[in-house]
Amino acid sequence: MAIWPVQLCIIILATLLCGALAKRLGQSRVVGEIAAGLLLGPAVLGALNADFYQLLFSNAAMPMMSQLGELGLVFLMFQLGLHLDLKSLQGRVPMRIPVAVALTGIVVPFAIGCAIAVASRATIAPQAPILGYVLFCGVALSISAMPVMARIVMDLRMEGTFTATAALAAASLTDLLGWLLLAAITAISTGDSAWPHIARNVALLLVFVAVSMLIARPLWGRIIARGPTASVTPRLLPVVVCYVLMSSWITAEIGFHSAFGALLAGLALRDLPGLKIEWRAKVEGFVALLLMPVFFALAGIQAATGSISLPNFWLWLGLFFVGAVAGKFGGSYLGARLSGVGHRDASVIAALMNTRGLMELIVLTIGLKAGLLPPAAYTMLFIMALATTAMTVPILRLFGYGRERSVAGATANQSTAYEL
């Protein structure tokens, strides 16, 4: 019996309602969509009716939803690359700003995370590999969430602003460094023999980046220029979709997440004439309406709850939370200020960088499956990720972004509601 239509209807309705409720409460819709996943997961729906939960959302019943969620992530990352205009920083501020924000925004929380891990290991992770657990906690506190950050930027109509562009550029560098660190840490936890494999994967990734930007990008430009309209047409859009999917598949095969391939495809194709218009008209609505709610909901459905009965659970959770905010917000703010950014803009950039969301959940899932995180530590970091994501919008509203701003600029921004 095919259960996926029922799953999809429940997920869409749950994320719609929870997203609307989050909006009413002054939050971004994405926070409500993640919360919808938690409500549909084993901790709530499974506790209320275990048989109904097993019928709808057991591991055996979720393969198709997982694939839809992965497709949603791929398309959102492509849209991010498509609309990420790093050239807008040229002539306004040097590129040293996102570079400095990225470096301080990963070094400071990484050091704090490692320090908390050293202090907490004997209590909450005695069976985990010492080095793997310590380094993994450092990465967990260092990561930013580009997809969630992108959704918050859309919801608050911040697209095109200096602060949003700088933060998204810094987050792209931070996440790339984070994934490289994650691959290295996983290799360290499994033995030194994995280092040649890591070097091979990094080399292959660099080759693919070079091919994408130096060969595929100009080739696409020449193909479009030879067309009758010299722009992307509805007939060419399916070929673009295939290119995005293949780019995602290649990076996944190399050993990195498929999201990076989609982001790279967006960066390579973002200057093609007419592509943004065709993508917005034909694809963006489908991604926002269907694929992204599935992706965000699955993060909550598949999240492990862990055990909160551990002694001093809330104390260690508090330390992880304070360390995460102090490290990420403080480190990003420091990098922005050292680069010459004013207090207000530096605070906005730091608030956006403090968003973790689903990239953090992906990282935590990897750590849990690799045996680097016990369930209790996973739960602490999971709660930390949701809390730091939820605090982003209220902070940004304090600096004037949000409903009032969007109403004032609704007419000007209506056609770019999903641009970055």
Mean pLDDT, rounded, for 302-320 = 74
User: What's the whole-number mean pLDDT along residues 3-30?
Assistant: 85
Higher pLDDT, 317 or 386: 317
User: Over 90: is that where the pLDDT of 405 sits?
Assistant: no
H or E element, residue 292: helix 292-301
- Asked whether residue 112 carries a pLDDT value surpassing 90, the answer given is yes
Predicted pLDDT at 21: 92
- Return d(Cα 360, Cα 388) in angstroms, integer: 11
Q: Report which of residues 379 and 324 the model is more confident about.
A: 324
**pLDDT at res. 246:** 95
* C-alpha separations of 379 from 81, 85, 153 in Å: 31, 36, 27
Q: Which CATH architecture has domain 89-292+303-404?
A: Up-down Bundle (1.20)
CA angle 331, 354, 369 (to 5 degrees): 105
Say which amino acid occupies 391: M
Of the candidate ranges 103-107, 132-136, 246-250, 407-411, the one whose mean pLDDT is the lowest: 407-411
| Cα 201 versus chain centre, distance | 22
* pLDDT over 50 at 376, yes or no: yes
Q: In the chain, what percentage of residues exceed pLDDT 70? A: 85
Q: What is the pLDDT of residue 245?
A: 95
Q: Is the pLDDT of residue 380 over 80?
A: yes
Residues 74 and 68: their CA atoms lie apart, in Å, by 10
- Exposed/middle/buried for residue 270 (C-beta within 10 Å: 0-12, 13-18, 19+): buried
Q: What average pLDDT score do residues 70-92 get?
A: 72
pLDDT of amino acid 35: 81
The pLDDT-based confidence of 418 (bands split at 50, 70, 90) is very low
pTM: 0.72
pLDDT classification of 190: cutoffs 50, 70, 90: low
pLDDT exceeds 70 at position 189: no
Helices H / strands E in the chain, number of each? 23, 0
36-45, 235-244, 331-340, 410-419: least confident range: 410-419
* CB contact at 8 A, 353 and 120: no
pLDDT greater than 80 at residue 272: yes
Burial 197-213 (b: 16+ CB within 10 A, else e): ebeebbebbeebeeebe
Answer with the residue of higher pLDDT: 1 or 337: 337
Domain boundaries, the chain: 89-292+303-404
The amino acid occupying position 408 is: A
Which of 128-142, 299-313, 348-362 is predicted with the least confidence, judged by mean pLDDT?
A: 299-313
Ranges 55-64, 141-150, 205-214: which has the least confidence = 55-64
Q: With 90 as the cut, is the pLDDT of residue 267 above it?
A: no
Helices (H), 84-194: 96-124, 130-142, 146-155, 162-190
Average pLDDT estimate for 164-170: 85
Residues in the chain: 420
Q: What per-residue confidence (pLDDT) applies to 410?
A: 35
CA distance 373 to 365: 9
pLDDT reported for residue 408: 39
Question: Are 68 and 74 in contact, with CB atoms under 8 Å apart?
Answer: no
Residue whose C-alpha is closest to residue 5's, from 41, 56, 53, 78: 56
What are 115-160's pLDDT values in tens digits? 999 999 888 888 888 888 898 899 989 988 776 787 788 778 787 7
